[in-house]
Amino acid sequence: MDRLAGQISASHGRLHAASEPFARHQIAVGDGHTLYVEECGNPRGRPVLVLHGGPGGGCSPFMRRFFDPAHFRVVLFDQRGCGRSTPTASVQANTTAHLIADIALIRAQLGIDRWLLFGGSWGATLALAYAQAHPDHVTGLVLRGVFLGMREELDWFYGGGAARFFPDLWARFQEPIPEAERHDMIAAYHTRLFDSDLGRQARFAQPWLMWENALAGLQSHPVSHAPADYARAFARLENHYFSHGCFLDEGQLLRDRPRIEHLPAIIVQGRYDMVCPPASAHRLAEGWDRAELRLVPASGHALSEPRITAELAAVMDSIRDEDRSRKSPA
């Protein structure tokens, strides 16, 4: 779950200056998929992997700006089926297990032993799943807008929970669906997003995306239309994953938390996040001694919310400063 980064009115003055990648890669991962991967910052810096939301959101240049380019070696990639990865909007051989294997392959090909994980929304889900599968290759986690891939979270967003706060937008989301099918909006949209008619897919991709987009920011000014290719990839991939319970056992990320409890984690969570309510972040952090939950006031879900942006930037700068202090002579 996530949205188009940077579309919410926000002050990004605390971010680092925009920079271009020092390397770009097209990595074939099998099953007909080729991933776009980029590296930014310092080639000899501390490695960080950025995991975008959605599923299907793709990376943006905005995501590079949370990291001091003199200190971090930042790796970003577009997950299967979205962004600059190909084939676009493909759900063939596209599961959480495939994405975890892709991350492992990227790490090996780039010659990185261990890296810090930075992910929000679905990116936080994937970060947790990867870390639990490969804890020896992770140095820590920085998470935002936690989504655990659980039924109750999907029921909140697609089963009428969030609709209690946004009845007008919920009505707009339901409008294209016959009343008899509205009891299961994920299934109803799935039928249409995977229709053989590409035009029909595109028509239903827009309201799927706009429902989430409209709720992502506390003070958002949501767009009413997104580029057709982006919307189709986002909607199809997100619906595909949600139709299959994110390809996780129910409660898996909480069940397997002991595998990563030795790792440090900082969780940045908007107090008024309507896409991924704070209850999930609280459940994840509770009892994890090395996890710090930072509930950000007057903030929603999106990466570009002003206080969320500032908090994440401060987190990454504090990690940089701690690294430097450890290296400095006593």
State the catalytic residue, choosing from 16, 71, 240, 301: 301
DSSP-H helix ranges across the chain: 96-109, 122-133, 151-158, 167-174, 185-193, 198-215, 228-243, 252-255, 278-285, 306-327
The three-state secondary structure class of 48 is strand
State the catalytic residue, choosing from 121, 220, 299, 304: 121
Calculate Rg over the CA atoms of the chain.
19
DSSP-derived letter for residue 147 is -
State the catalytic residue, choosing from 2, 68, 102, 273: 273
Report residue 246 as tokens: 């994110």
**Rounded-to-integer distance, Cα 166 and Cα 204, Å:** 20
For residue 273, indicate whether it is catalytic. yes
The pairs formed by 18-24 with CB atoms below 8 angstroms and a separation of 24 or more are 18/61, 18/64, 18/65, 19/64, 19/65, 19/69, 21/64
For residue 301, indicate whether it is catalytic. yes
Is the Cβ–Cβ distance between 302 and 218 less than 8 Å? no
Q: At 143, phi and psi to the nearest 5?
A: -120, 150
Q: At 295, phi and psi to the nearest 5?
A: -85, 120
Catalytic sites, residue numbers: 121, 273, 301
